[in-house]
Structure 1
Amino acid sequence: MAGTASVRQRSMLAAFNPRNPEFARWGALPLRIIVGYGFFAHGLAKLEKGPEKFVAIVDALGVPFPHVAAWSAIMVEFAGGLLMLAGAGITLLSLPMIAVLLVAIVTVHLPFGFTSVKLMEVTASGPKFGPPGIEADLLYLACIAAMFLIGPDPVSVDGIRARRRGS
């Protein structure tokens, strides 16, 4: 019996080995959740504040076709975030999400450097922060690239579809 338990323990340890491709696929799950929720939350905020306000911001930044660009960004963030949370169509979602991030980097965050959190002062009403740099955008880009390279996690819609197809 002792030998059987030892074999079983080694088998379980092997399953949780980060070098095991089946275990490594789970690495996409936390990335998918944070990217999906982050995009969804940003899209929802734009919808709640009034999309026309975001259109005005995009126009002030000098982005061509501001109405189309703003609504495209909102839809990529809101709907793309929900699809990412579900793990549906991650390969296809990657390109528009990357595009939204690159536009944000170039039009908004690049002039403010790298750091996303810039503590300017602490007042009686709480901390005051300066404008964010490109750090968070780069983290999102890295997460999307990692998900693309890792492939679908086992509990994503894409992962379930792949298992059903037998691939």
Structure 2
Amino acid sequence: MINKFEIGTLILRVVLGLTFFVHGLVKFQGGIENTVDWFESIGLPGFLAYGVGLVELLGGIALILGLFSRIVSVLIAIIMVGAILKVKIAAGFIDGYELDLALLAMSVFIAINGSKAFAVDQIILNRKKS
């Protein structure tokens, strides 16, 4: 039986996954070269755009499915800390890093607690135990 905590965590996991999947998809649909150029314009190595885009795209799918949720959430948390410190902090809280901070909190929550409800990881683990 799924408890309220797991239902709440499932909602966070799916919303976080969907959010990052769409962000990653947009990076690749719009031409990842644009993101590479933007990374370089703010002083980051351009190749990081590929890593960030892949974590967002594939990590978003993994979160939605409940696959490697803790690991993906740690990677997303790292991306959010970088986004806040490198890009958003100068704009302040409102219209700056407020959304990034909320996404960071969601990812840290899932990294700490995991998410078992309707998760592929749990299906695999339950089959191995049987």
> Which one scores higher on RCO, CA 8 angstroms, separation ≥ 6?
2
Distance 2:30 2:107 in 1: 27
For structure 2, list consecutive stretches of 5 or more residues without a partner in the other structure. none
For 2:84, the equivalent position in structure 1 comes to 105
Q: In 2, are the aligned partners of 1:114 and 1:135 still within 8 Å (CA)? A: yes
Go from structure 1 to structure 2 and tell me whether the alpha carbon gap of 1:147 and 1:95 turns closer, same or farther (over 3 Å shift): closer
User: What is the number of residues matched between the two proteins?
Assistant: 129
Structure 2 counterpart of 1:99, which letter? Answer: I
Aligned-partner Cα distance in 2 for 1:80–1:135:
22
Whether contact under 8 Å (1:152, 1:158) holds in the other structure is no
Structure (1 or 2) with the larger CA radius of gyration: 1
Runs of 4+, deviation exceeding 6 Å: none
Cα gap change, 1:47 to 1:110, in 2 (>3 Å): same
Q: Give deviations 1:91-120, integer Å, cap 9, x for gaps.
A: 1112221111111111211111112xxxxx
Other-structure match for 1:86: 65
User: C-alpha distance in 2, partners of 1:90/1:51?
Assistant: 25
Q: Whose helix fraction is larger, Structure 1's or Structure 2's?
A: 2
* TM-score between both structures, scaled by the size of structure 1: 0.71
Distance apart, 1:150 and its partner CA: 3.0
Q: Partner amino acid for 1:32?
A: R
Q: Distance in 2 between matches of 1:153 and 1:163?
A: 11
CA distance in 1 between counterparts of 2:38 and 2:111 reads 31
Q: How far does the alpha carbon of each residue in 1:37-76 deviate from its partner, in whole angstroms, 9 at most, with x for none?
A: 010010111111100000000000001x22x211011001
Q: What secondary structure, in the 3-state scheme, does the structure 2 residue paired with 1:163 have? A: helix
Q: Distance in 2 between matches of 1:69 and 1:81?
A: 17
In the alignment, is residue 47 of structure 1 matched against residue 28 of structure 2? yes
SS of the residue corresponding to residue 134 of structure 1 reads: helix
Q: TM-score, normalised by structure 2?
A: 0.89
* Structure 2: distance between partners of 1:113 and 1:165: 48
Indicate if the aligned counterparts of 2:9 and 2:110 stay in contact, CA closer than 8 A: yes
Q: What is residue 122 of structure 1 aligned with on the other side?
A: none
1:158 pairs with one of 86, 111, 121: 121
> Per the alignment, do residues 165 and 154 of structure 1 end up closer, same or farther by CA in structure 2, a change over 3 Å counting?
farther
